[in-house]
Structure 1
Amino acid sequence: MASYDNPEVVEREVKDREDKEDKKDEEKSGFIDKVKDFIHDIGEKIEETIGFGKPTADVTAIHLPHINLEKVDIVVDVLVKNPNPIPIPLIDINYLIESEGRKLFSGLIPDAGTIHAHGSETVKIPLCLVYDDIKNTYDDIKPGSIIPYRIKVDLIVDVPVFGRLTLPLEKTGEIPIPYKPDIDLEKIHFEKFSFEETIATLHLKLENKNDFDLGLNDIDYEVWLSGVSIGCADLEKSAKLEKNGITYIDIPITFRPKDCGSALWDMIRGRGTGYSMKGNIHVDTPFGAMKLPISKEGGLLRLVLLGLGAVRLSTMLLFSSFSS
């Protein structure tokens, strides 16, 4: 009787054949594992003997060297350590900046340099974030706000024995979207009257519309009354502009009343006079120093003087008009 006439014999033959195939697969798998272990052991021995190793990298700092209303410059410091006896090239640097999962911008820096043998170097990655690009893409990002960010950096290096490696890095933080303060000239207080020189104090109102404080260090601007410049003023002491708040500061100014034409006459008569201001304020912020523009066009200023002050100023201006 043939084996195919006996189902039990056929089943046994099939099982024996499957067992042999499984045994071959196990032997093959075991051989591959041994080869892998051998290669790994050889790699470790080469690394131990020759001194080759994988480089490491870490983001040590993030700087914001320049911030204004248009953009923010970002510099990422990456410390790369090379344990190998030969220099290794930085092939490419890929970077991405995102905020809450939204891509702000990305880029590539090719041929980023070489890390010396058995050395470490800080690689500086310069980035630039243009605010208009962000605001045009995401409507909910408003001027004056602070947004979280995540910087992702991939350093691609070429190392003997190991080949091409990618060193991924990440760093998080916050960046501001600055907004220029509003400025108003509330009033002028005259300290000393003189035909050639008058000393006065400008009472300024500054509104900080940012979600962060501004430490006012300096202010440079020019003031015009009825289109006539009365000069510049200097800040005598620093001031703190509270976030989303209003701050009043006093700034002394010296000018010649005879150069103001009818501007002071109009103020004394209660008519008021138009004024404008333009310049910059220099402030400290949690994100670094900033220079922010300030401007006011078409303001209206009234002057209220009582008693002797009004008489003296009126006499001075009257004399000025006769002598001109």
Structure 2
Amino acid sequence: MQDLMGKAKNFVAEKVADMEKPEADITDVDLKDVGKEGITYMANVSIKNPYSASIPICEIHYSLKSANRVIASGNIPDPRSLKGNDTTVVDVEIKVPHSVLVSLIKDIGADWISTIFWKMGLVIDLPLVDNITIPLSKKGEMRLPCFANLFK
């Protein structure tokens, strides 16, 4: 009986491993707003759902690094569901306080450009399988606004 159960578990595990899973990519990152509290960046995450049924995103966790330091991190609980057989774009808003940006100035240089590393994890609830996390990352450059823009 245990041998039969073991074979059944292996069969199910193989089928789940071969099953098509949602795919995601960080497609765009832009400066959204410069305010009194800090700077807001908007990352667009494109997620392809290969299933005919909609599936929920449980949460998105993210971090933003520059100069080998985490300058922003957080979680977005229950952002939305993914439409069946479609690609859904989810906007992830990330706020960076001015105090963190001022501490980066010594690492940036005269051109006000910093190398950044975005890291995200999309936690998706797949029925019968459980939650899966789709890891995402993107490296790029971030131009900081000049001081005059910070005080407008």
Q: Give the equivalent residue in structure 2 for 1:146.
A: 113
Gap runs ≥5 in structure 2: none
Flag the 1:41–1:165 CA change in 2: closer, same or farther, 3 A.
closer
Q: Distance in 2 between matches of 1:164 and 1:84?
A: 15
Aligned 8 A contact 2:67 2:107 in 1: no
TM-score, structure 2 as length reference:
0.79
Larger Rg: 1
2:28 is aligned with 1:55: no
Aligned 8 A contact 2:34 2:150 in 1: no
Q: What does 1:156-235 align with in structure 2 at a 5 Å threshold?
A: 156-180=123-147
Deviations 1:151-193 (A, max 9, x none): 1011001011321000110011122333347xxxxxxxxxxxx
TM-score, structure 1 as length reference:
0.40
Q: What does 1:1-324 align with in structure 2 at a 5 Å threshold?
A: 34-41=7-14, 43=16, 53-67=20-34, 71-136=38-103, 140-141=106-107, 145-180=112-147, 291=149
Shift of 1:67: 4.3
Mean Cα deviation higher: 169-178 or 138-147: 138-147
Q: Distance in 1 between matches of 2:37 and 2:124?
A: 35
Specify the code of the residue in structure 2 equivalent to 1:155: L
Deviations 1:118-171 (A, max 9, x none): 2211001111222223335x5734685321110101100101132100011001
Q: Distance in 1 between matches of 2:102 and 2:17?
A: 52
The structure whose residues are more often strand, as a share, is 2
Shift of 1:114: 0.6
Q: Distance in 2 between matches of 1:142 and 1:81?
A: 36
Aligned 8 A contact 1:43 1:161 in 2: no
Percent pairwise identity: 26
- SS class of match (2:128): coil
Specify the code of the residue in structure 1 equivalent to 2:44: D
Shift of 1:73: 2.1
Mean Cα deviation higher: 35-44 or 147-156: 35-44
Specify the code of the residue in structure 2 equivalent to 1:128: K
Gap runs ≥5 in structure 1: 1-27, 48-52, 182-290, 295-324
Q: Distance in 2 between matches of 1:175 and 1:64?
A: 9
